[in-house]
Amino acid sequence: MIKLIVVLVMFLWTLVVQTSPARGNEFTVREAKIAEYKKWLDTLGPQGSQYWVRLDARPRPHRLYLGEAFYKADAKSQEQFVDKYSNYLAGHPDKFMLIDLFDAGTSKPVGEYGFGGFKLYRKPLQTTGSSQD
């Protein structure tokens, strides 16, 4: 009976030891993914395509100031950009950081990324000329 318990414990021990490196490798995979996000986001930043101009990380949620290229992109590209930026700020490909989106030119809020997902506010209709009373 004791031999059976010892053999069973040895067998279970080998299973645990074999799966341990896979869990340790998870951190390296995660770091590589975040580094990939950073490289991609840098190409879209102030020195790149101008999707985003600056990030104000002092208040929470973070304030991301968007450039002209962001508005010219299609809705799917905009959402993908904000999603990856949120993952990058969280430091994990499966977690998200809350972000308030602001226009770089006017410093006015234009959207948000949070628990409800990606949301752009409706732009007010801009008319030329004076207003009529």
Band of pLDDT at residue 130, cut at 50, 70 and 90: very low
pTM of the model: 0.72
The domain segmentation of the chain, as residue ranges, is 33-120
pLDDT digits (tens, 9 = 90+) for 42-94: 999 888 888 999 999 888 899 999 999 999 999 999 999 999 999 999 999 99
CA angle, 30 then 36 then 37, to 5°? 90
CA-CA distance, 51 to 129, in Å (whole number)? 30
CA-CA distance, 65 to 18, in Å (whole number)? 47
Q: What is the pLDDT of residue 18?
A: 61
Residue 61: asked if its preceding bond is cis (omega within 30°), the reply is yes
Inter-residue contact 37 to 88 (CB < 8 Å): yes
Band of pLDDT at residue 17, cut at 50, 70 and 90: low
Q: What is the DSSP letter of 45?
A: S
**Does pLDDT of 126 surpass 70?**
no
Give the max Cα distance, the chain. 96
